[in-house]
Structures are given as C-alpha cells and as structure tokens.
Amino acid sequence: MVSLNDDATRSPSLWFPDGTLVIRAERTLFRVYAGLLARESPVFADMLAFPQHETEMERVEGCPVVELYDDSAEEVRCFLEAVFDYRTFLPPPTRTTWPILTSILRLSRKYQVDDLTQRAMQHLSTAFPDKLELYPAANPSFDVDVRGLKTIIRVCRDLSVDWALPAACYQLCTMAGDVAAITGGDVEADGNYLTGADACHDRGHAPADPHTPSPSHAPEHEHDHHTLSPSDTALLHAQHTLLRAETGAKMSAFLHSPPIARAIPGCPSPKQCVQTRANLRAQVDASLCVSLADGTESKSNAFPLALWDGSDWDRLNVCGVCLEVLRYRHKDEVQEFWRGLPARFDVVAGGGGSGWARLRRERRRDLGEREVGFVEWLGMNV
Ligand SMILES: [Zn+2]
C-alpha cells in the first residue's frame, strides 16, 4: 500500500464515506462508487476491470486511486457531480453555466457518458443557432463572456462539434472589444477564470491562474482546454478586423446597388432617393472608418449582422419603391454572409456549397433528433 505524500485534499462535495474508488485530478481527491461510475462510463469500466499492478496501486483509505492526468480538478468535479447527482446538470431550459457545460461536454465525450454529452449539446444548441433567422439566440440556457466563448470554441474544435462554431466564432468577434481580447487571455476586468460560475468551484482549491506570465510559474498541470488554439487565435484575430472593415463595407453595398448614381426603376422621386442613398452611404463609410482608425473602440453596430436594424431603415428616407428594393438587396447580402460563415471560420473547406447542410445534419445527430428529410439531405434549404 502506498500513501499519498503530498498536499492532496478531499473534494468537499464529492467524498462519499462509503465510496469504493478515489479519483485524483490535480491535487483534489474525489471518493465515489466504482460500480456506478463503470455503469455510466465504458471507459471507466475498462479502466476498473483491468487495474494495473493492483497490489502496488496507490490507495487512500483502502480505496484504489485512479489519477486523471489530463483533466483539471474543476472539470472532474463538474463531470462527477453530473454523474452522481443528475440535478446539477438538467437539460435546458434549466440554466447552467459555461464552465459546467464545457467541462461536462469534454469529459463526457472522453469517458463516453453519452447521455451527458447529449444534454451538453442541447445546452450548446440554445446559444449557437444554425439559421440566420435564429441569430442572435433569443433564450440561451447559459450566459457567456469572451473567456467563455474562447473555451467553448476550443472544446468544440477539439471534439469536432462543428455546427456550433460558426455562430460562436462570429459572436466572439462581435463581443471582443478589441483584438487583445482575442489574442490575450488577460483583458477581462475580473481576471477570474471561473467568471460567474462559482457553483462550479471547489473552495480552497485555486484554479490555474490565466495571468501566469511565464511557464516557470505554471501550475502543476497545464490544461490548455480553456484557450484558443494558436491557429484559431490567428484566424479570429484576422476576422475581427475583417468583419469590421471589408465585410462591414460590403454589408452596406446595397446602398450602391443599383449603381448609386442611377435611379431605381419605378422610383417616383429619383433625384431625392439617389441623393439620400449617396448621403447615407457616405455616413456609413465614415462611421466604419472612425471605428477602424481607433482600434480600441468597440463599435458593435459595425459588425455585418447588426449593421442595419430597424432604426437604420427608419432613417433611410427614400420612397416606398426604393425601400422595397434596398431591403431585398440587404437581405440578400446578409444571407450571403451567413452562408459564408462556416468557411470564414474554417469549419468547412471553401467551395462545394456553404457547408451548413452537413453541419445541420450533425447537429440533429448530436441532439438526438430524428433523421432529416430528403430535401434537407440534398442540402437544398441552405
Ligand atoms: Zn425612390
């Protein structure tokens, strides 16, 4: 029997005195029931069926210890709580938090607890729609900030949950006040990794400090599941700028079309309408330039899907004929933009359709919904 000779501490919430198995993650010990865990997770079942060197296995209070090297104590706590107390992670519309959601999504996939994976997917789907008319999500079952979005994007990339990525990546670009919010991990005012998620926090056990300036100060275990990958950091950095500039300008191009110097056919007041469009176009261009010149200024309405809203249309003082044409053109631009989102964020390769058809099939599969219809299967309602 080997005893623990370091500063490992018991989880206050997951320590059953009659438990038969101790799980260790970082410096936290969880005492749970081996049989129950094996029933829920085929991975743990295998692990426990063939214990290695049983006689030499580390033991705590007579229980064998399984150490999880690649998972943080917080993740393991959220996951085990969901396994041993279903009330901690009910399906939507019951609310949850993004740290709980991402922890359970990642570990339930890893340890193959399929019911929990599906429940996590259901929560994810409330925040990241696959259809333009549902964006932004009206009733997400969890709140999310910049740090949360970065974690969600990382976990979804790692697990190939592709259908959530276009909306999540776009939302991150619009929420990040400046590029530093995307490239750095330390711009949030609170500076706390578990923002708004105290329910998922083991007291007395500090989470890895995201501000840690150098590897020499790194915690015992480095977990990179909470930060964007280097390739996503570069991609989202670039898109943050692109979306505010070229794409933003493109989204107001409908004011140009048909060519701004020419009247829209059927317009009863061509002179006035042409002038109005030209003036507004100049205003839009100027506002985009202002927001770009001052790189740190957050100008959320410069993002493509929010560039024009109800009040903008009210300001567009043109005749009914022109208004109808311009609305139609704008809708076209917006739909084209949405179609391009999966390729824009490297979720699908460019060419051969938008990719949304595949993503919607995968979303239905992940949510446990019935098979798709033939028309959708053909990818015709993209
Ligand atoms: Zn007109």
The alpha carbon of 324 and the centre of ligand 1 are apart by a number of angstroms equal to 9
The answer to whether residues 107 and 181 belong to one domain is yes
Q: Residues 311, 252: one domain?
A: yes
pLDDT for 140 equals 97
> For residue 103, is it within any domain?
yes
Same domain flag for 326 and 364: no
- CA–centroid distance, residue 257 to ligand 1 (Å): 13
Average confidence (pLDDT) over 36-65:
85
Residues 70-87 have pLDDT tens digits of 999 999 999 999 999 999
> Separation of 254 CA from ligand 1 center, angstroms?
14
Q: Report if residue 205 sits inside a domain.
A: no
Residues 191 and 124 in one domain: yes
* pLDDT at position 2 over 50: no
Instruction: Give the mean model confidence (pLDDT) for residues 286-292.
Output: 61
CA of residue 325 to ligand 1 center, whole Å: 9
Same domain membership, residue 185 and residue 99: yes
Residue 132 falls inside a structural domain:
yes
* Model confidence at 13: pLDDT above 80: yes
| DSSP result, 167-224 | HHHHHHHHH-SSHHHHH-S---SS--TTTT-GGG--TT-PPPPTT--SGGG--SS---
Supply the mean pLDDT for the chain: 81
| pLDDT over 50 at 202, yes or no | no
Domain termination site, one of 46, 73, 100 = 73
Tell me: pLDDT of 201 over 50.
Answer: no
Say what the pLDDT of residue 204 is: 36
Q: What is the pLDDT of residues 305-336, one digit of tens each?
A: 777 777 778 778 899 999 999 989 888 989 99
Q: Within this chain, do residues 321 and 359 fall inside the same structural domain, yes or no?
A: no
- Ligand 1 centre to CA of 68 (Å) is 68
Q: Do 307 and 377 belong to one domain?
A: no
Mean pLDDT of all residues in 120-148: 95
Nearest of 43, 35, 42 to residue 18 by alpha carbon: 35
Q: Measure 333 CA to ligand 1 centroid, in angstroms.
A: 20
Residue 370: inside a domain, yes or no? yes
Indicate whether 215 belongs to any domain.
no
Centroid of ligand 1 to alpha carbon of 288 (angstroms): 25
Q: For residue 261, how far is its CA from the centre of ligand 1 (angstroms)?
A: 12
Distance 309 CA to ligand 1 centre (A): 20
**In-domain check, residue 229:** no
| Domain annotation covers residue 236 | no
- How far away, in angstroms, is 283 Cα from ligand 1 center? 19
Which residues on neighbouring strands pair with residue 63, listed in sequence order?
60
157 and 96 assigned to the same domain:
yes
- Separation of CA 250 and ligand 1 centre (Å): 22
CA 330 – ligand 1 centroid, Å: 16
How far apart CA 333 and CA 257 sit, in angstroms, is 11
Does one domain contain both 98 and 5?
no
- Asked if 1 and 59 sit in the same domain, the reply is yes
Residues 45 and 106 in one domain: no
Q: Which domain does 61 fall in, by range?
A: 1-73
Q: What percent of the chain has pLDDT over 70?
A: 78
CA of 264 to the centre of ligand 1 (A): 6
End-to-end CA distance of the chain: 61
- Please tell me the total count of domains within the chain: 3
- Same-domain status, 21 and 104: no
